[in-house]
Structure 1
Amino acid sequence: MDVVSDAISAVRLGQPSSNRIRVSGAWCVRLDPYAGAGFLVVMRGGCWLLPDGGAPVSLAVGDAVLLPHGTGHVIADSPVDAEAVRNAVPFARWPGGNGERARPDRGGTEILCGKYRLDCSRLHPLMAELPEVVHLPSRIGSRVELRAAIDLLAGELDERRPGACTALLSLLDLLLVYMIRSWMSEATSGVWPGVLGDPVTSAALRALHSDPAAPWTNDRLAAEAGVSRPTLARRFATLVGRPPMAYLTWWRMVLAATLLRDTPDTLAAIADRVGYGSPYALSHAFEREFGTTPGRYRAKVADRAPSAG
């Protein structure tokens, strides 16, 4: 595994949901804050995004937007005023959200929007430092992978061929990866683009994420990264914000929490998978990190889990 994949997998819950909006004329709709990440892609026409507490963003055909922290927002046909924002129609009650086609003679806008459910209680710092709004404008020759994913999504939505449901979910997951990757490749601020751009630190992180249960030491990790132990310690702590072994301990606890949430595995099996020699050792480290025992944590997340259907 790599850091980006792990950072997403550790917090992702269930399957993404999506809606296809086709609308024309004047419109203004409100989407409330959400415990996860929201996204939208303009497939036809154009619109405006007005995030809570942020500046309006003009969106054109092919533009993609990720709202990685579930920021509430309004989307509208034009840059509406504050009163219109206050009176925006909630998405759940908006006729335009039913996917009916806009009248071609009136132009119209078509948007793919949706949500990724995330467990925001233990975000990887890479996910935590994403800005409230990641706007990825469509530009010829740029973000080829993202553009290809958007084109494939449009095709699956249009054709509804056999296997479309599975393909659509996979493409929505791919869209999330490509949006984060695009932000990282173009970010002018933020820690983690620099972390993963540094050959020494990225090599060390890749090793830790590939086999978190291995008996890592600073010497072994330095050898894996091809540098001396002092060099690794200095660069890793400077860029990541904590020493390599402290990061490993934290990441093992996040993995343990994920396994407690998503699997019926025994504590002994989880301890083995995350590099602890006994359930007792894992319990002690887990309680120190999260302030609760593994058993209580598992019961709590089970109580919060949505009911079937």
Structure 2
Amino acid sequence: MDVLSQALTAARTGHPVSYRVDCRPPWGRAFPSVPGVGFHVVLEGSVWLIARTGRPVPLGVGDVVVFPHGHGHAMADRPDTPLLPMSYVPEAVPDDDRRTTAVGPDGSGAGGAGAAMLCGMYRLTRERAHPLLAGLPEMIHLPARLGRHNHLRSTIDLLADELRRPGPGSHVATTALIDLLLVHLLRGWYESTSTAGWAAALTDPAVSAALRAIHAEPARPWKVEGLAALSGVSRASFARRFKDLTSQGPLSYVTWWRLTLAANLLRGTDAPIATVARQVGYTSEFAFANAFKREYGTAPGRYRRPEGAEGA
């Protein structure tokens, strides 16, 4: 698996959700903070985005906004429309039936052209978030531009159609399309900001080669010289470039990723601690336990069974 795929897999805590919102003016909804990534896609008409900071932003058909850290915000037909509370997931509706919800008109108003949005949320943990995800801005706006992000647009069309006309297997199809949508959303962002940080690390020939190798074989006894050789550059040049783009040294990242994988294995499987240690590259359970405790502040066994979890 590639770095982005594994970063998302390691952070996931549940199934994503998505639904269509049909809006009739006047309408305004305040979306709360969520434990993951929130997004909106304008399918019809126009809306205003009201973020926590800055001026309201007008959005048109095809515009996409993503909240990588789940911050609260509002959407409305006009910047000055009063706001009512709104959830990413319509309340009191079974998971398989969350397709469409309607909002507005709120109170009295002249009405006018409506709008439609595709709204959704990915449930991701904030604990030990991969720096590739942790470094994303508070909000990402991908405006609709002819010829840009064609795969993203195609995925949006497929998902919107599935929500509008569900059929046999629709739940599986919708979940898969929402997953694909997140990948294309992040690809679109990284492609537009590929000159620094992790966005550049994913496209830098030397650093990306090393990252792919680390993620393909996390248990391998990596050394800087070996990673540099894979990358085709000198040791000094590779180490400097890796740290400049990822903000940590190559072996520090290896350790961080190994222990992140170990934490997921401890919580997600019943594998013995010694087995987990070997799977992430530690030949000694004692060495693994010490490294894990330095990183997480607790022993592997206690991490696997947090206080209060007994008998749950």
* Shared fold per TM-score greater than 0.5: yes
Q: 1:43 to 1:24 in 2, by over 3 A?
A: same
In structure 1, the residue matched to 2:217 is 211
State how far apart, in whole Å, the 2-side matches of 1:295 and 1:50 are: 45
Q: Match for 1:32: what amino acid?
A: P
Q: Is 1:178 equivalent to 2:184 in the alignment?
A: yes
Of 286-295 and 222-231, deviating more is: 222-231
State how far apart, in whole Å, the 2-side matches of 1:290 and 1:261 are: 13
1:90-146 deviation line (CA, Å, top 9, x unaligned)? 4468xxx9624999x953211111111111011111111111111111111110110
**Structure-to-structure mapping, 1:57-206, within 5 angstroms:** 57-80=57-80, 84=82, 87-91=83-87, 99-100=101-102, 106-187=112-193, 190-206=196-212
- Runs of 4+ aligned structure 1 residues displaced above 6 Å come to none
State how far apart, in whole Å, the 2-side matches of 1:151 and 1:290 are: 42
State how far apart, in whole Å, the 1-side matches of 2:84 and 2:54 are: 17
Q: Match for 1:116: what amino acid?
A: Y
Q: 1:237 to 1:302 in 2, by over 3 A?
A: farther
Of 119-128 and 227-236, deviating more is: 227-236
Partner SS for 1:119? coil
State how far apart, in whole Å, the 1-side matches of 2:179 and 2:262 are: 23
Question: Greater share of helix residues, 1 or 2?
Answer: 1
State how far apart, in whole Å, the 2-side matches of 1:178 and 1:293 are: 38
**1:248: Cα distance to partner?**
0.2
- RMSD value, Cα: 2.5
State how far apart, in whole Å, the 2-side matches of 1:242 and 1:125 are: 10
Q: 1:300 to 1:18 in 2, by over 3 A?
A: farther
Of 265-274 and 284-293, deviating more is: 265-274
Partner SS for 1:201? helix
In structure 2, the residue matched to 1:228 is 234
Q: Judge conservation of contact 1:30–1:90 (CA < 8 Å) in 2.
A: yes
Partner SS for 1:65? strand
Unaligned 5+ runs, structure 1: none
State how far apart, in whole Å, the 2-side matches of 1:46 and 1:212 are: 47
State how far apart, in whole Å, the 1-side matches of 2:193 and 2:209 are: 21
State how far apart, in whole Å, the 2-side matches of 1:55 and 1:257 are: 41
Q: Judge conservation of contact 2:19–2:163 (CA < 8 Å) in 1.
A: no
**1:262: Cα distance to partner?**
2.0
State how far apart, in whole Å, the 1-side matches of 2:309 and 2:20 are: 32
Q: Is 1:23 equivalent to 2:23 in the alignment?
A: yes
In structure 1, the residue matched to 2:281 is 275
1:8-49 deviation line (CA, Å, top 9, x unaligned)? 111111100122211212011111111211011111112111
Name the % identity. Answer: 45
Q: 1:225 to 1:188 in 2, by over 3 A?
A: closer
Q: Match for 1:52: what amino acid?
A: R
In structure 2, the residue matched to 1:11 is 11
Partner SS for 2:65? strand
Count of paired positions: 298
**1:55: Cα distance to partner?**
3.1
**TM-score (norm. length: structure 1):** 0.89
Q: Judge conservation of contact 1:74–1:88 (CA < 8 Å) in 2.
A: no
State how far apart, in whole Å, the 2-side matches of 1:292 and 1:60 are: 49
Q: Judge conservation of contact 1:261–1:301 (CA < 8 Å) in 2.
A: no
Partner SS for 1:132? coil
State how far apart, in whole Å, the 2-side matches of 1:119 and 1:166 are: 22
Q: Match for 1:164: what amino acid?
A: S
Of 202-211 and 259-268, deviating more is: 259-268
Unaligned 5+ runs, structure 2: 92-98, 106-110
Q: Match for 2:229: what amino acid?
A: A
State how far apart, in whole Å, the 1-side matches of 2:307 and 2:53 are: 31
**TM-score (norm. length: structure 2):** 0.88
In structure 1, the residue matched to 2:245 is 239
Partner SS for 1:149? helix
Q: 1:220 to 1:188 in 2, by over 3 A?
A: closer
